[in-house]
Structure 1
Amino acid sequence: MTFEVIDWLRACPEDRPRDPTQPALDRTEDETMTDFTQLAQHYVEAWNETDATARREAVQRLWAPTGRYVDPVVDVQGHEQIAAAIGAVQEQFPGMVFELLGEVDSHHAQARFQWGLGPAGREPLVVGFDVVEVGQDGRVASVLGFLDRVPAQV
């Protein structure tokens, strides 16, 4: 039965309403990966934005108004709290930058990717991975963050 449904969905894409900002079943895997790769790049850019006003604007573009970010250290919701959490990380790690490490893995409305935080162009001091879920509007609904490597003195 499941295969019949999947076959029907792929055979009749014009009969399915879909939000063009969402990864769709009729997109190729490469196209979906590109969408989530771009999302992950914008996400990292928001974490690297040092100007408070520009950071708030980046968060508003990227996250849904009720978006949530949670990791072992913080649990915040909404644009203001998320922007403030990013600012707090920047204060704790001045001059450090986030970068994507490896490929973005995605399916349906979620993606996971590894990131590093450290001096630009050098080995990251902190390594983690995030699982991002997008909502109907294509913006981030939730992020579950995990810390894989953290220096002892943090």
Structure 2
Amino acid sequence: MTNTDIDINDFASRYLAQWNESDPDARRKLIRDLWAEDGAQILVDPPEDMREAAANLNFPIPALEVRGHHALERRVERAYDMFIGTGHRFVQRGEATALLNHVIAFTWSMVTADGSVVGGGMDVLALDEDGRIRTDHQHIAVA
């Protein structure tokens, strides 16, 4: 599988759909379709309070990671409850980009019901040979 074997914008759209999906069974299916069994999401830039707490203890800024379908399901469910369940939606911003073979990136926004942007970020996905996400390095940006 190479980046030319998949529609990377469709892949980005399906990725965002897992976060917006209200039905837990449909969300679980999206996760199993998109992610390698041992796939990992790494939150590269954790929230400011976590960075400050780490700095106060003289630790480097920690990257937060979840790995495997079960942990990813819990992560997506929590994000759904925090953001989508409170009236937000994640939408793709611009076109996805093939960075390297098996590596794609795209930017996204978190929007309110009226379309106002309140947050966003960029995900860099490394795919395995089957076209499933091996790693997702997520970078969050404040609007």
TM over 0.5: yes
Over the aligned positions, Cα root-mean-square deviation in angstroms equals 1.8
Unaligned runs of 5+ in 1: 1-21, 25-31
Identity, % of aligned pairs? 26
SS of aligned partner of 1:125 = strand
User: 1:78-98: per-residue Cα shift (whole Å, max 9, x none)?
Assistant: 111111111111211122111
Is the alpha carbon distance of 1:81 and 1:117 closer, same or farther for their aligned partners in structure 2, counting shifts above 3 Å? same
Deviation at 1:149, TM superposition (A): 1.3
Q: Which has the higher contact order (CA 8 A, sep 6+)?
A: 2
User: How many residues align structurally?
Assistant: 122
Matched, 1:82 2:72: yes
Matched, 1:105 2:77: no
Is the alpha carbon distance of 1:33 and 1:114 closer, same or farther for their aligned partners in structure 2, counting shifts above 3 Å? farther
Unaligned runs of 5+ in 2: 47-63
Deviation at 1:33, TM superposition (A): 9.1
Is the alpha carbon distance of 1:53 and 1:148 closer, same or farther for their aligned partners in structure 2, counting shifts above 3 Å? same
User: 1:3-40: per-residue Cα shift (whole Å, max 9, x none)?
Assistant: xxxxxxxxxxxxxxxxxxx226xxxxxxx396211111
TM-score (norm 1): 0.73
Deviation at 1:57, TM superposition (A): 1.0
Structure with more of its chain in strand, by fraction: 2
Q: Counterpart of 2:127?
A: 134
SS of aligned partner of 2:137 = strand
